[in-house]
Structure 1
Amino acid sequence: MNKTLYLAYGFNLNLEQMAHRCPTAKPVGATMLRDYGLLFYGGNGGAVATVEPCKGKAVPCLLWEITSDDEAALDRYEGFPFLYRKKTVKVKLGKKNVEAMVYLMNEGRPLGTPSCHYYSIILEGYNKAGFDTGILKQAVEDSMEENDGQ
């Protein structure tokens, strides 16, 4: 069975959520997605996470080894290809450079704030992985700040 490396930066950082969504997925390590920033799109109170190119920023991520069945389940959860598209990115896993699949939100949605429930699930993932929660809090602020003028 073919295995793919999948890069999670939002809801799927949460181990319990991934265990439910993709029971055969295995976490293989933490990494940073460099020159990308974390933002929330989809309007206030219902926005969801995405990453987009941003020089000098970095987003903490978990790499998962997934099967084609896991990927099909993720495609459904992520609204592929309508809400999110897929891209292959290069990240470090230990000392090695590896290629991983990541979901990026399609353009056309307004910035906004996530629901408390959605945010708390991502925050739990950050805490369990030992990631800097300041990055997550900043992403919410950045998504609100840019949205204030609309």
Structure 2
Amino acid sequence: MPLTFAYGSNMDAQAMASRCKAARLIGRARLPGHRVALMPDGFATLVRDKGATAQGVLWDLSFGDLAALDRYEGAAYVKITQPVLREVGSPVRALVYIGKPGLGLGRAPEDYMMRIVAVASELELPSEHVDFLRRMAGENTEPAPRFCAIKNPKLF
């Protein structure tokens, strides 16, 4: 059965269960040389970046599920095959959906990126990656400034 690397909304097991009835989650995985980015319509895609590694999960799909996922992704995405590093085991070749420039799905829902952040956190993807997704969602991930109490009354 085809293996598929998911890095965005397809990481969500509940959402995948509704789209792909026979899908089986293999586990966490990563795709070196790529990073998550947003298309102009707000949906996630991957772009090549030699210094980055996209984090996600690997799914084992039936061919019927693959057809359903093709319909879900629509004309805005194209499938490519890439070597993916599994958390456990040897590397495998997997299908990856990449956004096509200029072809949108409409506007991404307002909570789209926050749902991806929530799933990435639940999956315990690396904290640096979750923080990166949070910044993409518009969340400030910088630590709050530290304040010190002034204990010298002569300064008042």
Shorter-chain TM-score category? 0.7 to 0.9
Match of 1:24 in 2: 22
Alignment of 1:116 with 2:110, yes or no, is: yes
Which structure's relative contact order is higher, taking Cα pairs within 8 Å and 6+ residues apart? Answer: 1
Deviation at 1:109, TM superposition (A): 5.8
Q: Which runs of 5+ in 2 are unaligned?
A: 139-156
- CA shift, 1:25, in A, is 0.1
Aligned with residue 137 of structure 1, among 128, 134, 137: 134
CA distance in 2, matches of 1:77, 1:99: 22
Equivalences for 1:64-143 in 2 at 5 Å? 64-79=59-74, 82-93=75-86, 94-108=88-102, 114-131=108-125, 132=127, 133-140=130-137
* Aligned residues of 1:24 and 1:67 also touching (Cα < 8 A): yes
Which has a greater percent of strand?
1
| Deviation of 1:116 (Å) | 3.0
Partner Cα distance (2:112, 2:136) in 1: 14
Scaled by the length of structure 2, the TM-score of the pair is 0.77
**RMSD of Structure 2 on Structure 1 (CA):** 1.9
Q: Rg bigger for which structure?
A: 2
CA drift of 1:95 comes to 3.3
Percent identity of equivalent pairs: 30
Report if the CA contact (8 A) 1:27-1:63 is conserved: yes
Find the partner of 1:56 among 47, 51, 57.
51
Aligned length: 132
TM-score (normalizing by structure 1): 0.80
